[in-house]
Amino acid sequence: MSDKLILVLNCGSSSLKGAVLDSASGEVLLSCLAEKLNLSDAFITFKINGEKEQVSLAAQPNHTGAVGALLAELQKHGLDSRIGAVGHRVVSGGEAYSESVLIDEQVLAAVEKCIPLAPLHNPANLLGIRAAQDIFKGLPNVAVFDTAFHQTMPAHAYTYAIPRRFYRDFSLRRYGFHGTSYRFVADEAARFLGKDKNSLRMVIAHLGNGASVAAIKNGESQDTSMGLTPLEGLVMGTRSGDLDPSVFSFLADNTGLGIQEITDLLNKQSGLLGISELSNDCRTIEEEAAKGHEGALLALEIFAYRLAKYVASMAVAAGGLDALVFTGGIGENSALVRAKVVGYCEFLGLKLNEEKNLAARFGNAGVITEDTGGAVAVVIPTNEELMIAQDTARLSGL
């Protein structure tokens, strides 16, 4: 095992998140967040040894400038020579990739070809890869796709019931996201429960700002709630999740909004925010619900009810249920949401243990249901960066 460190990059159109990890121990030596990229007041914030430091990117306010500032910071702390490879989160690998891959020209071309499937994310991911190739010259780069883990979904799970020519002509189908998190959490859950993952039927709920559920059988994804884009499925912080597709034409006809405006409304102004008319943040919603805020109470109930309905439907895809696994910021911390969901799912054999449910928060894993000999619900913290770092180290031969 080498002592090389892995740089993990997660690029958005105007942001770049980075972390330097020891892929063997999981220790994070440095993390950073560049914001307002492509604006003149872009800046990057570093966190190292418990200290925060902010650096202006005004001289080169783009992804390359951010990666350059990151290299300078690593040099300052004598870490630059210890970086052995760079791992990139890439949102869509379409049908081309079912695993992480060492990046070469062919991979870059494939990521570019998938831009229509992830028009906001893949171009930013490509910028990050090119910046890393420019600045960290000669280091291997690895792409870890959000969609890859779900490539095991059968056709009856990924096909939309619309004329099949659209799948043939445009690759229009369900892809799913959060795959890196599901892969990590599925392994961790099996380990935590002391079970062989190949004989576990799991439903995993990844509940962050974006939220989805997936059915895992024999360690493989059978179905997931997000589809062509992350808009499908659960109620999320600002996304509506599933709707009657006719809502689109109804809004267009009755409000005069255009396609892009309605898409934005469903992605950015809906979900917990739209229902509560208060916030997209689950913590705020819970605080206000406790004070009796009607919108917050309704938002929480809809969030939990829709999630519970999806858990039950994913048990169909998994062929039964041995473990319901909660992860992501809400899944790992909100005892209230978990209690509601487990309550709705009692008919699946789950019975909440309130004490255990309160104990499994703030980074603590734990079973949160009574031992009935049947299905359990369990909290497992996710770590997508570590998964990316581990794939990157393996594929780079470190």
Would you say 48 or 272 has its CB closer to ligand ADP? 272
Is 141 a known ligand-binding residue?
no
DSSP at 301: H
How many residues are given for the chain? 398
Q: At what angle do helices 122-135 and 63-76 cross, to 10 degrees?
A: 40
Q: At what angle do helices 105-113 and 122-135 cross, to 10 degrees?
A: 160
From the list 31-39, 77-85, 111-119, 202-210, the region that binds ligand ADP by CB under 6 A is 202-210
Is 10 a known ligand-binding residue?
yes
Exactly one of 41, 80, 146, 169 is catalytic; which is it?
A: 146
- Is residue 146 flagged as an active site residue? yes
* Residue 230 found at the interface with ligand ADP (CB under 6 A): no
Closest CA to 304 of 352, 234, 254, 247: 234
Q: DSSP 3-state assignment of 325?
A: strand
Would you say 92 or 276 has its CB closer to ligand ADP? 276
Q: Give the distance between the most distant pair of CA atoms in the chain.
A: 62
* Residue 208 found at the interface with ligand ADP (CB under 6 A): yes
Q: Are 210 and 177 in contact (CB under 8 A)?
A: yes
Would you say 146 or 322 has its CB closer to ligand ADP? 146
Show the site string, 331-360: x = touches ligand ADP by CB under 6 A, - = not: --xx--------------------------
Closest CA to 117 of 174, 159, 63, 165: 174
From the list 70-78, 246-254, 315-323, 330-338, the region that binds ligand ADP by CB under 6 A is 330-338
| Interface of this chain with ligand ADP, residues 256 to 315, rule: CB under 6 A | 281-283, 286
Would you say 98 or 209 has its CB closer to ligand ADP? 209
Q: DSSP 3-state assignment of 342?
A: helix
Structure tokens at 235: 């109620």
Which spans of this chain sit near ligand ADP (rule: CB under 6 A)? Answer: 208-210, 237, 281-283, 286, 328-330, 333-334
Known binding-site residues for ATP equal 17, 206-210, 281-283, 329-333
